[in-house]
Chain A
Amino acid sequence: MSTTLTQPTVHKLDSGSLWRGRFGRFILPYLLILPTLLFISAFTLWPAVSAVINSTIKPAPTVRQQPAFVGLQNYIDLFNPDKEIGQVFPRVLLNTLVFVGVTVPVSMVLSFFLALALNRKIRGLTFFRFAFFYPVLLPLIGAASIFAFIYADNIGLANILLRGVGLPGIKWIGDATWTPIAIMIVALWKQTGFYMILYLAGLQALPTDVYEAADLDGAAAWTKIRRITLPLLSGTTVFILTAAAANAFQQVDQLYALGEGSPADRSNLLLYFIFQKYSERANQGYVNAITVILLVLLLCFTIFNLRVIEGQAYYEN
Chain B
Amino acid sequence: MTGVLLVAALFWLIPLIWTVLVSLRPSDESLVQGNIFFGSRITLENFTETFRIVDWVGQYITTLIFVFGVLAVQIVTIVLAGYAFARIKFRGRTILLTLTLVQLMIPSAVLLVPNFATVRGLSLYDTKLALMLPYFGSAFGTFLMRQTFRQVPLELEDAARIDGCGWVGILRNVYLPASGPTLVAFSLVSVAARWNEFLWPLMITQSKSNRVLTVGLSQVLRTNEVGALYGQITAGVLIVSFTLLILFIVLQKQFVNSFLRSGLK
Q: Which residues of A contact B (CB under 8 A)?
A: 1, 4-5, 7-8, 10-12, 14-20, 26, 28-30, 32-33, 35-48, 50-51, 54, 114, 117-118, 122, 126-143, 145-150, 152, 155, 157, 160, 189, 193-194, 197-198, 200-201, 236, 239-240, 243, 246, 249-250, 252-253, 256-257, 271, 274-275, 278-279, 284, 287-288, 291, 294-295, 298-299, 302
Contacts and interface: CB of A to CB of B under 8 A. Distances in A.
B163 A10 contact: yes
Given A37-B100, A39-B77, A197-B256, A5 B159 contact: yes
A278 B113 contact: yes
Nearest to B13: A131
Interface in B201-242: 203, 213-214, 217-218, 221, 228, 230, 233-234, 236-237, 240-241
Contacts of B76: 35
B99 A37 contact: yes
A155 B44 CA distance: 21
A62 B110 CA distance: 29
Contacts of B165: 10-12, 14, 16
B115 A47 contact: yes
B192 interface: yes
B173 A11 contact: yes
Interface string B1-44: 11011001110111110110010000000110000000000000
A271 B173 contact: no
Contacts, number: 303
A93 to B, nearest CB: 15
B86 to A, nearest CB: 11
Majority secondary structure of chain A interface residues (helix, strand, loop or mixed)? helix
Range for the number of chain B residues in contact with chain A: 35 or more
A32 B81 CA distance: 5
A39 B109 CA distance: 15
Interface in B151-206: 156, 159-160, 162-169, 172-173, 192, 195-199, 203
B258 to A, nearest CB: 10
Nearest to B261: A201
A128 B106 contact: no
Contacts of A257: 218, 221
Given A44-B103, A47-B108, A139-B197, 12 more contacts: A35-B77, A51-B114, A117-B1, A129-B252, A140-B198, A141-B198, A141-B214, A142-B237, A149-B234, A197-B259, A197-B260, A275-B199
Contacts of A189: 12, 15
Contacts of A117: 1-2, 4-5
A279 B196 CA distance: 21
Interface string B124-154: 0000000001101111001000000000000
Contact of B230 (A41, A152, A246, A299): A152
B57 interface: no
A198 B111 CA distance: 27
9 contacts: A10-B163, A40-B100, A42-B137, A44-B139, A134-B245, A139-B195, A148-B221, A149-B233, A294-B110
Nearest to A290: B113
B114 A47 contact: yes
Most buried by B among A50, A146, A257: A146
A15 B110 contact: no
A139 B9 contact: no
Contacts of A36: 77-78, 80-81, 100, 137-139, 142
Contacts of A14: 165-166, 168-169, 172
Contact of A29 (B78, B90, B192): B90
B110 A43 contact: no
B114 A271 contact: no
Pairs A-B, 5 closest by C-beta atoms:
A39-B137, A47-B114, A16-B166, A139-B196, A32-B84
